[in-house]
A and B are shown apart, each in its own frame.
Chain A
């Protein structure tokens, strides 16, 4: 298992990303550089382009123009293999909890004893050891999302994207997931997470990306953006105003 300090986190950069549809701009990001330590949280109203940006950074959507660089290299198969993503609604294989983790470990060509050891570590980390043999589909929402995060971490990613992973969860389940995210971040995994929850951004973020209408309206250290937002859009959003 990688055990990196925050100092060794790689960089992630978007240059000239552009996506449109029927004449309207869905995403227009001239430049966004994520190179600081700690989690990056992307905030903004619905339709701001947060999830679209996340999918572009992960290579799930190819933009009409622009490119994504990871550690200075264009996003290709090697870079994508060093990334993982957790979706808003966890997509779990119709198998047991263990088999979901085993699926990615097999793809990494780990032998059986190594897989068994890693699965035990992961289950312990996610507090799912008692559910190991249970069908993944029978897990509660919080447990399912924890398993989805564990499965993503099983790929040993350098960058972990999370698209509103706690949006449908209660405070206790949210807290468990936030702890997992912070642990992963402290091990050197670059966290890029979309959220609507300003409180969550205050709890987790080292830096915040504020989006509206497909544009990054503000990006900076969390304290600066959350305490003294420079843009009108960020000020209104953080004050609880309705950004439409």
Chain B
């Protein structure tokens, strides 16, 4: 118990004194996850909006598939991205394996379905409400997409934060494609796993506390934005 208490105080000290190694890991984690969410937003939002307003054969099947992809097992994604990027894989020539870029790719694969599926839900609900009015104003189906995305912005930020929550807390995929290399691809989750197995609980606890802090902050922001979206009459729930 005494050891545990001393590990916690050591962890707090690491955070408070601004330990360079700890904050480098935190910053790399944030960089990887934020870039992954940004790319996912660029792919997932137009995709989700197109699915919401478009009417084509097989649309229902695509939606079912997209919703199913929200629950992709991270280790399976890690394995697939690993196979794509490994030297003998189709993208091996790019030599991206064990780089932060590989980790971003894996997170994009995990987060894009979440962003696209939530965007589809939010935009479809809004499109139902706006449909006749926009048609009456002469707005075409295609031209309605930016209108709907803008008017659903609060709920869509919530979708992005949900994606960020998934990315920042992810461990299985990034450890496979990143390799958990010190000062190169070591992020918060993979460091916690490694340092715990080594018995270096202070660093693991410090990173864990920061990760929880980020998770709480993101969830608080999601709740706040969901509340505002509800007040605006729009929520993905």
Q: Which residues of A contact B (CB under 8 A)?
A: 55, 58, 60, 77, 80-81, 83-85, 87, 91, 93-95, 103-104, 107, 135, 137, 155
Contacts and interface: CB of A to CB of B under 8 A. Distances in A.
Contacts of B147: 93, 103
A87 to B, nearest CB: 7
Most chain-A Cβ atoms within 10 A of its Cβ — which of B132, B147, B232? B132
Classify chain B's interface size.
Answer: 10 to 19
B6 interface: no
B51 to A, nearest CB: 21
Given A60-B132, A91-B130, A137 B232 contact: yes
B138 A91 contact: no
25 contacts: A55-B132, A60-B132, A60-B136, A80-B138, A81-B138, A83-B136, A84-B136, A84-B137, A85-B133, A85-B136, A87-B133, A91-B129, A91-B130, A91-B132, A93-B130, A93-B147, A93-B151, A94-B151, A94-B232, A95-B151, A103-B137, A103-B147, A107-B137, A107-B138, A107-B139
A81 B139 CA distance: 10
Main secondary structure of the interface of A (DSSP, over half): mixed
A222 B129 CA distance: 34
Interface of B: 129-130, 132-133, 135-139, 147, 151-152, 232-234
Contacts of A83: 136
B139 to A, nearest CB: 8
Most chain-A Cβ atoms within 10 A of its Cβ — which of B133, B147, B152? B133
Nearest to A163: B132
A58 B136 contact: yes
A104 B135 CA distance: 12
